[in-house]
Amino acid sequence: MSISRFPVVDLVDLPEDLRARIEPIVERTGFVPNVFVGMGHRPNELRAFMDYHDALMDRDSGLTQAEREMIVVATSAANDCLYCVVAHGAILRIRTKDAEITDRIVANWRTAPVTDRQRAMLEVAVKMARTPEEVSGADLADLRELGFTDADIWDIGSVTALFALSNRIAHLADLQPNPEFFTLGR
C-alpha cells in the first residue's frame, strides 16, 4: 500500500524552512508523519497548512489542547477519515493519557465520558463538519450559555473547518497513516 495516490517527497527535498519545522517533530516522535511527505510536493500548500494548524492548535486558547484534539478526532471520525482519526487519535491519547476516551470518540463521540461543556462543543463541531449550513445562531448561543467565550467558539468552528480541509486532502490522496501512529500513546 503506497503512502499516497500522489507524489511523495523525501524530507531532505523539502524547502529548508519546512525541513527545519518538521525535523523537531521527527526527533520527538521518531518518524516522519506521512502528511508532510504526502503534501510536500506542494510546499506552499503544506506551509500554509502548517501555519494555519499551528496558529489554531498551539495558540493560548480557552480550549485545552486535548479539547482541540477531541474536536479533530470526532469530526474526522464523522468524515470517516482514516489518516486524521489515526494520527490525531494518537495525539489525543498522548494529551489525555487515556486511550479509552480516544477509542470512544472514534467509535461514537456521544459515548465519551466528557463534561457537559465538552459534549456541547463536540455536538456543534460535528454538525459543522457534516452539515455546516445547519449551524445557527441558536447553536452558538447554547455554547455561550455554557461559558464558552466568542474566542472559544471561533476556535471550535475553526478547528473543525481546518480539518474539513485536511480530511478532504487525506481522502483525495488516500493518505496512509504511519504504522507507528496506530500504537503511539497506547
Q: Applying CB under 8 A, which residues contact a copy of itself? A: 1, 5-7, 42, 44-45, 47-49, 51-52, 55-56, 59, 77, 79-82, 85-86, 99-100, 103-104, 106-108, 110-111, 113, 128, 132-133, 135-137, 140, 150, 153-154, 157-158, 160-162, 164-169, 171-172, 174, 179, 182-183, 186
For cell 489542547, name the residue: 65
Q: Which three cell numbers stand for residue 104?
A: 470512544
For cell 500522489, name the residue: 6
Residue 90: HSE in the Cβ half-sphere, 13 Å Cα cutoff: 15
Query: For residue 11, which amino acid is it?
Result: L
Q: Which is nearer to a copy of itself, 64 or 110 (CB)?
A: 110
Q: Which is nearer to a copy of itself, 95 or 170 (CB)?
A: 170
The pair phi, psi for residue 136, each rounded to 5°, is: -120, 175
Q: Which is nearer to a copy of itself, 24 or 137 (CB)?
A: 137
Q: How far is the CB of 27 from a copy of itself (least distance, A)?
A: 24
Q: Which is nearer to a copy of itself, 27 or 169 (CB)?
A: 169
- The CA distance from 18 to 184, in Å, is 24
Q: Which is nearer to a copy of itself, 94 or 164 (CB)?
A: 164
Q: How far is the CB of 63 from a copy of itself (least distance, A)?
A: 14
Q: How far is the CB of 14 from a copy of itself (least distance, A)?
A: 15
For cell 465538552, name the residue: 118
Q: Which is nearer to a copy of itself, 27 or 133 (CB)?
A: 133
Q: How far is the CB of 45 from a copy of itself (least distance, A)?
A: 5
Residue 118's H or E segment, with its range, is helix 116-130
* Residue-by-residue DSSP string for 27-57: HHHSS--HHHHHHTTSHHHHHHHHHHHHHHH
Q: How far is the CB of 10 from a copy of itself (least distance, A)?
A: 18
Q: How far is the CB of 32 from a copy of itself (least distance, A)?
A: 18
Q: Which of 33, 35, 13 is nearest to 24 (CA)?
A: 33
For cell 516522535, name the residue: 29
